[in-house]
A and B are shown apart, each in its own frame.
Chain A
Amino acid sequence: MIYGRKDLLDLESLDAGEITLFLDTAERFREINEREVKKVPTLRGFTVVNLFFENSTRTRISFELAEKRLSADIVNFSASTSSVAKGETLLDTAENVLAMKVDMLVMRHGASGAPHYLARNIPASVINAGDGTHEHPTQGLLDLLTMRRHLGDLAGRRVVIVGDILHSRVARSNIHGLTKLGAEVVLCGPPSLMPVAVERLGVRVEHELGAALAGADAVNILRIQRERQDSGLLPSLRAYARDWQVQPRHLEAMAPGGIVMHPGPMNRGVEIAQEVANGPRAVILDQVTNGVAVRMAVLYLLSAARRRMSAGETREEALAGELPAAEPVRAAKNTDTGLRAESA
C-alpha cells in the first residue's frame, strides 16, 4: 500500500487505511531508532526545510532528528509571524525557500489553514507541524501509535481528552484519528473551553472529570495556557486545577491498563498532578519516542510518493502498481503528474 497524496495537512481528510499505513510504517522506524546506528539512507539527496512561524522546541527537534536519521539535507527556518506581518506574505516566504530547490516543507504556523493555503500554491510537499487551532496531524499519529502499542486495536476503546479543547490542534487531530479507527472519544473540560457543536465531530462531552474518566482506556491531558485566564475564559489557573486537574483518585476508575498521555510541555500541578505525571500509567515519554518514528514514517511515505511521481509515473499508474485492491487509497483529484496541489 502507498500514500497517494502530495501533502499531509490534517487527519480529517485521511481514511482509516491511510492512518494505519502511517502507524505500521512508524513501527518499522521505531526498530531503526533502537539500533546502535540510527541512520538509513532513505532520504539521501532530499532537501527538507523546517519552516517554523511559531516557536516550538520539541516538535522541531523531533522532525529534525527524523530528517537526519533518514539522511535528508535539512535547513531550519524560523520566522516569527510578526516579521511576516511586516511585509512578506506567507507565499513569498515559501517561494523564496523553494527557489533554493527544496522538496518538502515542514510547517508550523499560527493561522489555521495556512499549510492548506501553501500546499495549494506550491509544488513541494507540505507537512503540517501544527496550524493555529486546527490540527497537528503528526502529534495525532504519534498519540495513536502510543495508544495502539499499549492498548492494541483501538476500535471500541474509550479515550478521554481533557482540557482546553477550544484552542487545541492536538485535540482535533486526536478526535479525527481516533474516531476513524473506531475508538469512542469523550471530551472533558470547562464549557468555556469547549468548541461549539463539537458533538458533530462524533464525540461525547462530559464536563465532570470523574465521570469522564470512569472506564476510560486512555486519557490525553492537554496543556492549559496562562492566557486563557487573562482573556476571561477562566477565572484562574487555580480554579481550573480544582475541577479539571487529573489526580491519582481519578485514575482509579479507569479501565485496567489504562494509560495517561500528555503532548507536552506539562504544567505540573495545573492540568496534571505530579503523582500522575510520574505514575505507572504515564506513557508521556513513550509519546516523545514514538514521535520521531512517526515523523520518519511521514517523511518516508511522502518522499516515496514524490519519487514515484517524478519518475514519470502518473498517479494512476503508481496506484495501479502498488495498491492492493482491497484497500483503496483515496484518489486525489489530479491524475496527470500527481504533484500538483489538491484542492481542499
Chain B
Amino acid sequence: MLDWNDRCETGRFWIANARLVDPASESVAEGALRVDGGRIAGRAEGAPPDDGDAVLDAGGLCLAPGLVDMHVHLREPGQEDRETVATGSRAAARGGVTTMACMPNTDPPVDSGAMVRFVREKAAAAGLCRVLPVGAVTLGQAGSQLADLGEMHEAGAVAFSDDGLPVADAGLLRHAMEHGRTWDLLLISHAEDRALSQGGHMHEGAMATRLGLKGIPRESEDVAVDRDLRLAGMTGARLHVAHVSSLGAVDILRRAKAAGVRATAEVTPHHLLLTDADLAGYDPNRKMNPPLREAADQEALITGLLDGTLDCVATDHAPHTEVDKGREFAAAPFGVTGLETALAAVLTRLVATGLMTLPRALALLTRRPAGILGIEAGRLDEGAPADLVLFDPDERWTVRGAESASLSANTAFEGMELAGRVRATFLGGRPVYLREVAGGGAPDEERWHPRPWREEAARA
C-alpha cells in the first residue's frame, strides 16, 4: 500500500471520512474535502464520489485549515544554534502550522528589503511552511532611526515590529505609524516600559517576593499598551498588540477597541496554561517576557478571548539553547518554544474545559490571525489554499522538549499531558508532515516531506 505522500503525487485527491472543522462558519461536519492543484476544490457530505481520484481515509479525525502563527522567532540569520528557518519549519509542520510570521530580532535584524528576501528564500528552500517576515520598525532595532518600511513591504514583509524591544521613543513610533499609513501597514507592539521592567525576571507579586526575584510589574505592560493604542488612535494606524499578559492591558484594549482604535491583540498558550505559581522550582524554561502572571490575569485573558477583546493565539516561539537555558533563573534568557504545542495547548485549555467550541477555538489559531495579517489562509472554502491540518483532538500526549523538531528544547510545558495531536499537515495540497497515518507507518513514526519552491524576488 502506497503511503499518503505517494498517493497525493498527482495533486488531485480526496481526504475522506473526516470531521471538517470550519472556523469561518464555526461548524463541524462529517465529510470529505477535495484538493486539486494546491487548492481546496470542493467538499462532499459523507463519502466522496468515485471520480477516480485518490482517496485518503482520515479515519474520522478532524480536518481544519492549517494554523497561522503570527509570532515566532526563527533566529536566522545569526543565531543558528538556537533555530534556523529550516528547523523552525520542521517544528511548524509538526505542530500543524502552515503559515508563520517571524520576528526581525535576528543578528543582524531584518530591517531591509534584502533581509526580508533572505528569510523568504530560506523558507522556500526549507519547503515545509509559509514564512512571512516581519520587518523592523527602526534600523537595527536600535530605536533611533526609522527603517525603510516601504522597501520591506515591497519585498514581502507582512508587518513591522521591534519585537523583543519596545520602541521607547513615542515620537518615533508616531512617525512610523504615520509613515506606514501610505500602505496601511500593520504595526506589532511589544508593549513594555523598560524603565519599569528593567532587571526583572518574573511577574512582580507574592511569588516573586517568596522566590527573591526582581519582578516585572503589570504596569510596565499597561502603560505601554495604553501609549501605543493612543498613538494608533491619533494616527489611524493598524496596531496589533503582541503577547498580552496583564489584566490591565485587557481592559485598556477593550476600551480602545470600543472607541474605534484599529487594534487587535494576541495571547500566548503559555499565558493561558501557566501562572507565576508554576515558578516554584525556578525552572528557566518557564521564564519569558512578558512573564507568567497570576490567576486573575489568566482569567482576564480568557474573558478577553471569549468577548473578542483578544483576537487570536500566537506562540511567541522563542528557541534558546540548552546551554543558555541551563543556568540559574536570573541568568537565563527570556523565551519558550511553542510551535509544536500550540494546538494541543488551546484544545486542552479552551475546548476540553468547555469554554469554547472546537471551531471557535481553532479560529483563534487560523482565521483570526489570517485576517489580521490580511492573508488568504484559515478557511476551508472552495478556492482557498489547501493548507490543512489533520489532528486527533482526543489523543493525549506528554510534552518532552527532547523530542521536539525544533533545534531547541525549551518548552514551558515539559512533562505536562496535553490533549490533541497532529497526524498530518498539508501545505499547498501536498503532505509535508505525516505521523502514524497511511502506508503502515510504525506507531509514532514521523516523516517530513519538504516541497521546496522557488521564491520570486517580487512580492507574493
Residues of A within 8 A of B (CB): 12, 85, 89-91, 109, 111-114, 116-117, 120, 131-135, 169, 172, 195-198, 200-201, 343-344
The residue that B326 contacts in the complex, of A91, A112, A133, A198, with Cβ under 8 A, is A91
Binary interface encoding of chain B residues 203-215 relative to chain A, with 1 for a CB under 8 A from any of its CBs, else 0: 0111011111111
Please tell me if the beta carbons of B282 and A200 are within 8 angstroms of each other in the complex.
no
Residues of B within 8 A of A (CB): 204-206, 208-215, 217, 280-282, 323, 326-331
Q: Which residues of A contact B281 (CB under 8 A)?
A: 116, 120, 343-344
The residue that A89 contacts in the complex, of B208, B210, B280, B326, with Cβ under 8 A, is B326
Q: Which residues of A contact B211 (CB under 8 A)?
A: 112-113, 134
Q: Which residues of B contact A197 (CB under 8 A)?
A: 205-206, 209
Q: Which residues of B contact A89 (CB under 8 A)?
A: 323, 326-327
Q: Which residues of B contact A198 (CB under 8 A)?
A: 206, 209
Please tell me if the beta carbons of B215 and A196 are within 8 angstroms of each other in the complex.
yes
Please tell me if the beta carbons of A196 and B329 are within 8 angstroms of each other in the complex.
no
How far is B208's CA from A77's CA once the two chains are assembled, in angstroms?
30
Given the interface contacts A90-B328, A91-B326, A111-B328, does A169 sit within 8 Å of B209 by beta carbon?
A: no
Given the interface contacts A89-B323, A90-B327, A132-B212, does A112 sit within 8 Å of B282 by beta carbon?
A: yes
Q: Which residues of A contact B205 (CB under 8 A)?
A: 196-197
Residue pairs across A and B with CB atoms within 8 Å: the count is 72
How far is B202's CA from A134's CA once the two chains are assembled, in angstroms?
14
Q: Which residues of A contact B331 (CB under 8 A)?
A: 85, 111
How far is B329's CA from A109's CA once the two chains are assembled, in angstroms?
12
Q: What's the minimum C-beta distance from A163 to chain B, rounded to whole angstroms? A: 15
Q: Which residues of B contact A172 (CB under 8 A)?
A: 210, 212
Please tell me if the beta carbons of A201 and B210 are within 8 angstroms of each other in the complex.
yes
How far is B282's CA from A90's CA once the two chains are assembled, in angstroms?
15
Q: List 20 A-B contacts (CB under 8 A).
A: A85-B331, A89-B326, A112-B212, A112-B213, A113-B211, A113-B212, A113-B213, A113-B329, A116-B281, A116-B282, A117-B328, A132-B212, A132-B330, A172-B210, A172-B212, A196-B208, A196-B217, A197-B205, A197-B206, A200-B209
The residue that B282 contacts in the complex, of A113, A169, A196, with Cβ under 8 A, is A113
Q: Which residues of A contact B206 (CB under 8 A)?
A: 196-198, 200-201
Q: B-side binding surface: helix, strand, loop or mixed?
A: loop
How far is B277's CA from A200's CA once the two chains are assembled, in angstroms?
13
Q: Which residues of B contact A344 (CB under 8 A)?
A: 280-282
How far is B211's CA from A169's CA once the two chains are assembled, in angstroms?
10
Q: What's the minimum C-beta distance from B215 to chain A, rounded to whole angstroms? A: 6
How far is B217's CA from A196's CA once the two chains are assembled, in angstroms?
10
10 A-B pairs with the lowest CB-CB distances in the bound complex, closest first: A134-B212, A113-B282, A197-B206, A195-B209, A111-B328, A112-B212, A200-B206, A133-B212, A114-B328, A344-B281
How far is B121's CA from A172's CA once the two chains are assembled, in angstroms?
54
How far is B215's CA from A132's CA once the two chains are assembled, in angstroms?
14
How far is B282's CA from A13's CA once the two chains are assembled, in angstroms?
14
Q: Which residues of A contact B328 (CB under 8 A)?
A: 90, 109, 111, 113-114, 117
Please tell me if the beta carbons of B330 and A112 are within 8 angstroms of each other in the complex.
yes
Q: What's the minimum C-beta distance from A201 to chain B, rounded to whole angstroms? A: 7
Please tell me if the beta carbons of A117 and B282 are within 8 angstroms of each other in the complex.
yes
Beta-carbon nearest neighbor of B208 in chain A = A196
Q: Which residues of B contact A112 (CB under 8 A)?
A: 211-213, 282, 329-330
Beta-carbon nearest neighbor of B324 in chain A = A89
How far is B332's CA from A91's CA once the two chains are assembled, in angstroms?
13
How far is B281's CA from A255's CA once the two chains are assembled, in angstroms?
40
Q: Which residues of A contact B323 (CB under 8 A)?
A: 89
Given pairs A113-B282, A201-B206, 10 additional interface contacts (CB within 8 A): A12-B210, A90-B327, A90-B328, A111-B331, A172-B210, A196-B204, A196-B217, A197-B205, A200-B209, A201-B210
How far is B214's CA from A136's CA once the two chains are assembled, in angstroms?
17
How far is B323's CA from A120's CA once the two chains are assembled, in angstroms?
16
Beta-carbon nearest neighbor of A197 in chain B = B206
Q: What's the minimum C-beta distance from A225 to chain B, rounded to whole angstroms? A: 15
Q: What's the minimum C-beta distance from B208 to chain A, rounded to whole angstroms? A: 7
How far is B323's CA from A62's CA once the two chains are assembled, in angstroms?
34
Beta-carbon nearest neighbor of B280 in chain A = A344
Please tell me if the beta carbons of B280 and A111 are within 8 angstroms of each other in the complex.
no
Please tell me if the beta carbons of B329 and A117 are within 8 angstroms of each other in the complex.
yes
Q: Which residues of B contact A117 (CB under 8 A)?
A: 282, 327-329
How far is B210's CA from A200's CA once the two chains are assembled, in angstroms?
9
Beta-carbon nearest neighbor of A132 in chain B = B212
Beta-carbon nearest neighbor of A344 in chain B = B281
How far is B331's CA from A201's CA once the two chains are assembled, in angstroms?
26
Q: Which residues of A contact B204 (CB under 8 A)?
A: 196
Beta-carbon nearest neighbor of B215 in chain A = A196
How far is B206's CA from A85's CA once the two chains are assembled, in angstroms?
29
Q: Which residues of A contact B329 (CB under 8 A)?
A: 111-113, 117
Beta-carbon nearest neighbor of A165 in chain B = B209
How far is B217's CA from A172's CA once the two chains are assembled, in angstroms?
21
Q: What's the minimum C-beta distance from B334 to chain A, rounded to whole angstroms? A: 15
Q: Which residues of A contact B215 (CB under 8 A)?
A: 196
Q: What's the minimum C-beta distance from B173 to chain A, rounded to whole angstroms? A: 26
How far is B213's CA from A328's CA once the two chains are assembled, in angstroms?
32
Beta-carbon nearest neighbor of B212 in chain A = A134
How far is B345's CA from A133's CA once the two chains are assembled, in angstroms?
34
Q: Which residues of B contact A132 (CB under 8 A)?
A: 212-213, 330
Beta-carbon nearest neighbor of A120 in chain B = B281
How far is B326's CA from A117's CA once the two chains are assembled, in angstroms?
9
How far is B283's CA from A120's CA once the two chains are assembled, in angstroms?
11
Please tell me if the beta carbons of B330 and A111 are within 8 angstroms of each other in the complex.
yes
* Most chain A beta carbons < 10 A, residue from B204, B205, B209, B327: B209
Q: Which residues of B contact A111 (CB under 8 A)?
A: 328-331
Q: Which residues of B contact A85 (CB under 8 A)?
A: 331
Q: Which residues of B contact A200 (CB under 8 A)?
A: 206, 209
Q: Which residues of B contact A131 (CB under 8 A)?
A: 212
How far is B332's CA from A117's CA once the two chains are assembled, in angstroms?
12
Q: Which residues of A contact B208 (CB under 8 A)?
A: 195-196
How far is B210's CA from A132's CA once the two chains are assembled, in angstroms?
12
How far is B206's CA from A113's CA once the two chains are assembled, in angstroms?
16
How far is B327's CA from A155's CA once the two chains are assembled, in angstroms?
40
Beta-carbon nearest neighbor of B282 in chain A = A113
How far is B329's CA from A12's CA once the two chains are assembled, in angstroms?
19
Beta-carbon nearest neighbor of A169 in chain B = B212
How far is B330's CA from A85's CA once the two chains are assembled, in angstroms?
12
Please tell me if the beta carbons of B209 and A135 are within 8 angstroms of each other in the complex.
no
Q: Which residues of B contact A12 (CB under 8 A)?
A: 210
Q: What's the minimum C-beta distance from A37 to chain B, rounded to whole angstroms? A: 40
The residue that A196 contacts in the complex, of B209, B212, B330, with Cβ under 8 A, is B209
Beta-carbon nearest neighbor of A194 in chain B = B209
